[in-house]
A and B are shown apart, each in its own frame.
Chain A
Amino acid sequence: MKVSCNIKVNHLTRVEGHGNIRIRIKNGQVEEAGWDVVETPRFFEAILVGKLWENAPYLCGRICGICSIGHTLASIRAVENAFGIVPDRQTAGLRLLLKHMETLQSHILHLYFLAAPDFLHIGSVLPLVQTHPEVVQRATRLKLLANDACDIIGGRRVHPTRTVVGGFTMLPEKSQLALIKARLEAALPDLVKTAQLFQTFSLPDFVRETEFVSLKGRDHYPFIGGDLVSSDGVVKKEDEYLQMTNEYMVDHSTSKWSRLSRQSLAAGALARFNNNFAFLHPKAREVAASFSLQPVNHNPFMNNIAQLVECVHVVIDSIVIIEELLAAKWQEPRQPVIPKAGRGVGAVEVPRGILYHAYEFDQAGRITRADCVIPTSQNNANIHYDIIELARQSAAQQRTDAEIQRLAEMLVRAYDPCISCSVH
C-alpha cells in the first residue's frame, strides 16, 4: 500500500521557540514538506543602533535564555575586536571555562529533558521522576554543577552579570573553583552512565549529505574566536563571516536562512565534531567510538551523540583550566576600555553552533550598525531539506503517519534548535 498522509505539527514541543513541521504525501509521492519558523522577531539589530558600546553585551545576552552566556561572550568579543582589546590569559581562561559550563548545561538539558523522552516513548521527562528517579537525579546533578559554575564565574546562569567588555566585574573565590573542580571530576562517571543510557536508544539511520561549518581549530578544539572552516573546504577569517553565512529570506519563515557551497549548511556539535575531531580529548573520542561516530558523519540524529562527546571534552578541559587558574596569582579582573570608531566581529561556538556578532561604532563608541547571525538560523535550511528527504525516505519505506511524524519531530529536536534566538 502506498503511503498517504497530511502531517501538520504546529508549535513543535520540547524545543526552544515556535516552529511548524508540514509533510504531505500522496500515493507514496511527497507533495509538500518543510520547516516553518513562525517566531515573532524582536529586532535586536535595530534596538542596538544609537546605543553606547556598553549596552551591547548586556542587551545581546538577552537574545537567548539558554545560551545567554554565549551571546554575551560573542558580543564582548565583537566590541573588544573593534576597540583593539586583547583579553589576558586569566580573562581568556575564565571565559572559556564559563563557555564550557554553558555548553555542558545546555547539552545536558537537551539530551535528558528534550531528546531522551522520544527514545523512551514518553511526552516529557516528568514520568521518569517516578519510574527512573536515578536518571533524573543524574541529569539534575550534571545540570546543577554546570549552572553553579556559571553562577560562580559569570555571576548568574541566565543573563550573566560579571561578564563585561575588558574582563570581569569580579573574580570567583579560588576555594569555589576548587570545589567546582572536585564536582567536575565526580561528573565523569555520570557522563559514562549517560553514554550507557544513550547506548540503549536506537538512533534513526538517516543520512543526507551536507556542509558543516564551524570555527577552525589550530591547536585545540575551538570555542572562542579564530578562523572559520567548512567541511567542503572553505576557510575564511573571523571578520569575513558574511561569506560563510550568506543570509537570505524565505516566505514561510521569520528567521533568515543561510547557505555556503550547497543548498544548505549545518552548524552545531556535529559540525564541530566533524571539522575538529583531531582536537577532542582522547576520552571524548573513546565515547564517539563507542557509538561508531566518526568524521565526517552526515546523520543529523548523531548530533545528540556529538553533544555527549562534547560534554566529556568540556568537563576534562574545564578541570585543566581550573588547575591553571588555581596555580596562578589573581590579576586585575578588568582592563580599561577606550572606545574608537571601527568594526568588530566576534565568532563563538555556542551549544547549537557557530554564532557571530558584528558591530560598527562611531568615534564615541555608539553603535551605528549591528548584525547577529545565529546558529539555528544557519541550520533552518538544513532542517527544511532534511524534513523533505526524511519524508521521501519514509514514503519509500512505507512508514505509518505516526512513525513519520515522530521521526520528523525527533529530527528537528536533534538539531536542538533555539528558534527565538534564530529570529531575535
Chain B
Amino acid sequence: MTAKEHTYLGVPVKKPKVAFFEFTSCEGCQLQLLNNEATLVDFLALLNIVNFREAMSEQSDDYEIAFVEGSITRDDEAEQLKEIRARAQTLVAIGSCACFGGVNQLKNRFNDLAWVKEQVYGSHPIESREAMPLSAIVPVDLEIYGCPIKKEEVERVVTNLVLGKSIDYPKYPVCVECKANHNVCLFDLGQPCLGPITRAGCDAWCPSNRLGCWGCRGPAEKPNVRQLRQIMHEHGFSDEQMLDRLECFGGFGQYVSELKSASKE
C-alpha cells in the first residue's frame, strides 16, 4: 500500500517511519498494540513500521516517531534512550512505566537499593538504579498514560499525530467517566477508589469492572487529594490503603509525600 492511497480531507497523508522500543517493563503496552485485532490491519496501514523487535526481525535506525515503553533502571538503558531521542523527531512515552516509572518505581520507596537487590539476588552482584520515567533522562514529546495503555486511545493519538492534529487529554477525573457509564460508586460497594483524583481518558476501565481505581494515569488537573482522604476515612479505609494506590504507579509524586507526612500527624 503506498502513501498516495491515504488521504485526509483530500490531502495525501504521509506514512511516518515508526519504531517501537522497550526498556524495563512487562512489554504489555506493546502487546496492546497488537491487540484490538478488529482494527489492527487499518492501524498498521497508517504507519511504516521499521522497528518492532517483539514482532519483527527487520531493524532500522531511520525513523521519525519513536514509541518507547518502560522505565529506565540501568545506565545502558539511559544511553540507548538518548540515542533514540537524537534520531526521532517525535518521542512518545507509552504506558505508566515510561510516563511515571510505573510499578517499577515502588522499589525506590525503600531508599535502599542494596537491600532491594539482596532480597532478590542475595550476594550475587546485579546492576540496577532507581527506576525513572523517560522524561527524567530526555525531553518527551507525548505521553500515553495507563497500565496498560488503552488501544483506542493509542489509535486516536497516533491518528492525530500522523494527520498533524492537536492531541488533548481530559482534565477531569475518572469519576466523571464512571458516572457517565452509570456505574454504582465503588465506595458504595465497599471498595477504595482513586477515581475522584485520577486523570480520565480510560473510560473508567477498572471501576466499570467493579475494581476501584489505582491511579495508573496520574493526577487529574487540581486533584483534591485531601478531600479524597476524608472520603476514604469515612468509608473505613486506612491511609495505608490509600497510599498503596497513590504510590503504585509513580504518577502522584508530591501527593504521596504529603499523605505520608499527614498520616504521621
Segment of B4-12, B31-39, B159-167, B254-262 engaged in the interface with chain A: B31-39
- A135 to B3 CA separation, bound complex (whole angstroms): 25
**Is A126 within 8 A of B56, CB to CB?**
yes
B244 at the interface (CB under 8 A from A): yes
Chain A residues with CB below 8 A from B148, complex form: 65, 156, 158-159
B140 at the interface (CB under 8 A from A): no
Given A68-B28, A126-B44, check contact A117 B211 (CB 8 Å). Answer: no
Apart from A46-B120, A147-B37, A158-B148, 16 more pairs, CB < 8 Å: A13-B57, A14-B56, A17-B27, A40-B74, A42-B131, A45-B120, A52-B240, A58-B214, A64-B28, A65-B27, A65-B29, A113-B34, A140-B41, A144-B37, A158-B32, A249-B124
**Is B28 within 8 A of A65, CB to CB?**
yes
B86 at the interface (CB under 8 A from A): no
**Is A11 within 8 A of B120, CB to CB?**
no
B228 at the interface (CB under 8 A from A): no
A143 at the interface (CB under 8 A from B): yes
**Is A46 within 8 A of B110, CB to CB?**
yes
B176 at the interface (CB under 8 A from A): no
Taking Cβ atoms with an 8 Å cutoff, the residues of B that contact A are: 23-32, 34-35, 37-38, 40-41, 44, 49, 52-59, 73-74, 77, 102-104, 106-107, 110, 115-117, 119-122, 124, 126, 128, 131, 147-148, 191, 205-206, 209-211, 214, 240-241, 244, 248
Nearest chain A residue, comparing its CB with the CB of B53: A13
**Is A16 within 8 A of B27, CB to CB?**
yes
- A249 to B123 CA separation, bound complex (whole angstroms): 10
Chain A residues with CB below 8 A from B56, complex form: 13-14, 117, 123-126
Task: Give the shortest distance, in Å, between B102 (CB) and chain A (any CB).
Answer: 8
Given A46-B107, A254-B126, check contact A109 B34 (CB 8 Å). Answer: yes
The 6 A-B pairs with the shortest beta carbon distances in the complex, nearest first, are A65-B28, A124-B56, A155-B209, A169-B210, A123-B57, A161-B209
Task: Give the shortest distance, in Å, between A129 (CB) and chain B (any CB).
Answer: 6
Chain B residues with CB below 8 A from A159, complex form: 28, 147-148
**Is A161 within 8 A of B26, CB to CB?**
no
- A51 to B119 CA separation, bound complex (whole angstroms): 15
Q: 7 pairs across A/B with beta carbons < 8 Å?
A: A42-B107, A65-B25, A65-B30, A126-B56, A161-B206, A249-B124, A420-B26
Chain A residues with CB below 8 A from B120, complex form: 41, 43, 45-46
Nearest chain A residue, comparing its CB with the CB of B119: A46
- A384 to B76 CA separation, bound complex (whole angstroms): 24
A55 at the interface (CB under 8 A from B): yes
* CB-based A-B contact count at 8 angstroms: 157
A 242-269 contacts with B by CB, 8 A: 249, 254
- A68 to B29 CA separation, bound complex (whole angstroms): 12
**Is A14 within 8 A of B54, CB to CB?**
yes
Chain B residues with CB below 8 A from A45, complex form: 119-120
Task: Give the shortest distance, in Å, between B49 (CB) and chain A (any CB).
Answer: 7
Task: Give the shortest distance, in Å, between B56 (CB) and chain A (any CB).
Answer: 3
**Is B209 within 8 A of A156, CB to CB?**
yes
Task: Give the shortest distance, in Å, between A220 (CB) and chain B (any CB).
Answer: 29
**Is B205 within 8 A of A156, CB to CB?**
yes
- A155 to B206 CA separation, bound complex (whole angstroms): 8
- A393 to B59 CA separation, bound complex (whole angstroms): 30
Task: Give the shortest distance, in Å, between A346 (CB) and chain B (any CB).
Answer: 19
**Is A40 within 8 A of B128, CB to CB?**
yes
- A68 to B35 CA separation, bound complex (whole angstroms): 14
Chain A residues with CB below 8 A from B40, complex form: 140
Task: Give the shortest distance, in Å, between A153 (CB) and chain B (any CB).
Answer: 11
A3 at the interface (CB under 8 A from B): no
Given A40-B73, A40-B128, check contact A14 B57 (CB 8 Å). Answer: yes
Task: Give the shortest distance, in Å, between A140 (CB) and chain B (any CB).
Answer: 4
Nearest chain A residue, comparing its CB with the CB of B123: A249
Chain B residues with CB below 8 A from A162, complex form: 209-211
